[in-house]
Amino acid sequence: MGDYAVIRGASYTLAHTPDMVIHDGATQVTERIVNPEGEYLKELPKHLRTYNDVLAYAPNQVYIGNMSSRDLETMEMPWYDKAAAIKDRKGKYGEIMPQDEYYGLMQICDVFDLVVLEAGFAAGVKSKLEGSAMFTEEQIAVLDKNQFTKEQIEALVDEDGACGLYMNNELVGAVKRAHDVDVNLSAHVMLENISSKATSVLSLLHLVRTAGINPEEVDYVIDCAEEACGDMNQRGGGNFAKAAAEIAGLSNATGCDVRGFCAGPAHAILNAAALVKSGTFKNVVVTAGGCTAKLGMNGKSHVEKNMPILEDCLAGFAVLISEDNGVDPIIRSDITGRHKVGTGSSPQAVISSLVTDPLDEAGLSIKDVDKYAPEMQNPDITKPAGAGDVPESNYKMIAALGVKRGDLEKSELGSFITDHGMKGWAPTQGHIPSGVPFMGSCRDMMLEGDISRAMIIGKGSLFLGRMTNLFDGVSFVIEANKGQSSDKSAGAGSGVSETEVRSMIAGALKDFAAGLLAE
C-alpha cells in the first residue's frame, strides 16, 4: 500500500424540484406563516424554471461534468439568461433528474411506506424509470404498489399531517408522518430525510459508473449532509450512510455520518483518507444528498430583481477514496489546514489557518498551489442576494495574504486570481459548495497533466446551531500521483510593508465576510 489515499472517482447529480421550492424551501415555508397573503408568494410561481431551462443553465452543466469552469469565464454574467453550449441531461459525473422521476426515486428509497403517489402518476413515472439502467427491476416494481387516488392523498395532507408532493402545483403524492407525536418523525422531517437519502443514492449509483468500481468493493461510506436522522430519544443519531448504501447496492459496506455544517464534506474526506491510509478500509465513499430547506433560499432577492428562481435543484455528490494505485491523485493528508478553537473569526485569521499555515509547514508558497477550491458558490445566485461573488472574495483574500507574505508581487494580484482561482458553479445547498465540487475535475486535470497541486478548503458557520459563535474549517492538498507530472516551482516575490497591503486586505474583507454567511 502506498503512503497516501487517492481519489479514484467522483460523481455529481442534481434533481430539479420546482414545486418543492414552493412547498418545502425554508424561506417559503416561513413566508406562508408570517406573510401568507404577501406579494412574494403570489409572484413566486411565475419565476420557476422549466426542466429545459435547467438543462440549458451553464453552471448546472459544469456541475455534472459536461462543461468546465473555464467555460464560465468566457460567458458574460449573468448566466441565467444565456443558454449553455451543452444541454444534456447526463454528464461525465452524473445527471440532472426531472422532478417526476425524482418522486419515483424517493419512493424507491423509502423502506417504511411513507411515500405515496397517485396511481396514474406512479404508472407514468415507472414507464420513464424502466428506460434507465440505473435501477433494478425490483426497485422499479416498488411503484406498482401505488393505489391511491388524488382524493385519498388530499385527505392524508389535510387530515393526517402529510406533506404533499406536487407537479405543476397539482397534488400527485405525499410523504406521511412516521409518528403521531414525535416531531422528529413528522412528515416535514421525513420529507427532508428521504430527499437527502434519495439524492445521495443517485450520486452513489453514478459513482459506481464513473469510478468503474464493483459496488461490493466499497468497504465504508461516510455521509456528510446537513440533515439529522433520529427520533425524540436520539435527535440526530443517523445513519444516512448505511441507509443510502443499502439502496445503492453497496452490500459489503458499513459506515456512519459526519456533520460539520458547510465544512462537513472536507472533514469527511479527511476521515476517509485517514481510514484508507491506515489500512483500516481499502475503498471509502464520501457522499451527501441535498437539502430541501435551501430550495429558494434567496428567492425573495431573485423575484425582486425579476430573475428566475435559481435555487431549484437538490444537489448530491459522492467521492471514492481508495488505496494508492500509482495513478490517481493523492490526498496529502500531511498538508492540512484547520480552524482551531483559538484561531479567531476574522476573515484574515480564517484564511491564514486554512491556507498559509499548512503551506508554511510544508515549505510551500501560495503560488505552489495551482488551483484553490474554497466555497465554489454560483455568483449568479449570491450576488443578487447581496452576498457578493463568494469564490472571488476568497481568492482576493488569499492573494492579499500572498502579497503580505512575499509570495507574489502586488502587480500579480489580478493574474493570481485568474490563474489560481475559478468561477463558482455549485448550487447554494449549504454543504455542497465547500470545495468538494472541484474534486472530480481536479482529478481529471491532474491525470491529463494540466495541474499538479490543488487545495480543497471547507469552511462552516458553527453559530447556526446556537451552540457556539465559532467558525469552522479544514483544508487539504491534492497532488498528482507519482509519474503523472512534476510539482511546479514558483519563486517568491519580494515582500511589501504591512501598510501597503492593508488596503488590499480591507477591500476583500467585506465581500469575504458576506461569503462566510452565505449558506
Walk along the chain (519 residues) and give the pLDDT tens digit of each residue.
358 999 999 999 999 999 999 999 999 999 999 999 999 999 999 999 999 999 999 999 999 999 999 999 999 999 999 999 999 999 999 999 999 999 999 999 999 999 999 999 999 999 999 988 899 999 999 999 999 999 999 999 999 999 999 999 999 999 999 999 999 999 999 999 999 999 999 999 999 999 999 999 999 999 999 999 999 999 999 999 999 999 999 999 999 999 999 999 999 999 999 999 999 999 999 999 999 999 999 999 999 999 999 999 999 999 999 999 999 999 999 999 999 999 998 888 999 999 999 999 999 999 999 999 999 999 999 999 999 999 999 999 999 999 998 999 999 999 999 999 999 999 999 999 999 999 999 999 999 999 999 999 999 999 999 999 999 999 999 999 985 433 333 333 334 444 444 454 445 545 544 554 454
- Taken as a whole, the chain contains a residue count of 519
Q: Three-class SS of residue 296? A: coil
Which class in CATH covers the domain with range 330-516?
alpha beta
β pairing state of 96-97 and 6-16: parallel
Give the sign of the dihedral formed by CA 365, CA 497, CA 409, CA 338.
positive
What residue segments make up the domains of the chain, in order of their start?
A: 330-516
> Quick check: bond before 329 cis, omega within 30?
no
Q: Which residues contact 194 (CB under 8 A, 6 or more apart)?
A: 106, 109, 110, 114, 115, 175
β pairing state of 6-16 and 254-257: unpaired
pLDDT at 500: 44
DSSP string, 13-47: EEEE-HHHHHHH-HHHHHHHHH-TTSHHHHHGGGG
Pairwise CA distance, residues 36 & 28, whole Å: 9
Helix (H) or strand (E) holding 250: none
| Packing angle of the helix pair 240-248, 99-109 (nearest 10 deg) | 100
Of 312, 313, 365, the C-alpha closest to 335 is 365
Find cell 430519544 and name the residue: 233
DSSP string, 101-147: HHHHHHHHH-SSS-EEEBHHHHHHHHHHHTT-SSS-HHHHGGGGG--
Q: How far is CA 212 from the centre of its chain?
A: 22
